[in-house]
Amino acid sequence: MAEIKDQTLTGRVDLDGNSYVNVVFDGATLFYEGGKPPIFQNVTFNQGCSFTFQERAGNTLAFLRSMAHPSTNMRFIVDGLMPELNA
């Protein structure tokens, strides 16, 4: 795991397994593939940042989206997985 500290990051940033401390993401595209989750501490996301979920992370996100669709009657399961989003 790499620790990225006290920097401003732009362009492509691969997140898996890294720690970001006192970092500013400025117009960065952040990629997560489903490996070890990144750690964020005191970070700022400026305008123009985006996240891209690929590989295992993309598959998991697609699965959760399919479960959350109104026709499945499983939205409550997705909501229950992340109750902090409903606070």
Sign of CA dihedral 10, 15, 17, 19: positive
What's the pLDDT at 69? 93
In a domain, 56, yes or no: yes
Domain count, the chain: 1
In a domain, 87, yes or no: no
The model's pTM is 0.86
What's the pLDDT at 84? 87
Q: If you ran DSSP here, which 8-state letter would residue 38 be given? A: P
Least reliable range by pLDDT among 48-52, 65-69, 79-83: 79-83
pLDDT at 15 over 90: yes
In a domain, 59, yes or no: yes
Answer yes or no: are the C-beta atoms of 8 and 23 closer than 8 Å: yes
Task: Supply the mean pLDDT for the chain.
Answer: 95
Answer yes or no: are the C-beta atoms of 17 and 35 closer than 8 Å: yes
In a domain, 43, yes or no: yes
Under the phi-then-psi rule, with left for phi > 0, alpha for psi from -120 to 50, and beta for the rest, what region is 34? Answer: left
Residue 48 lies in domain: 3-82
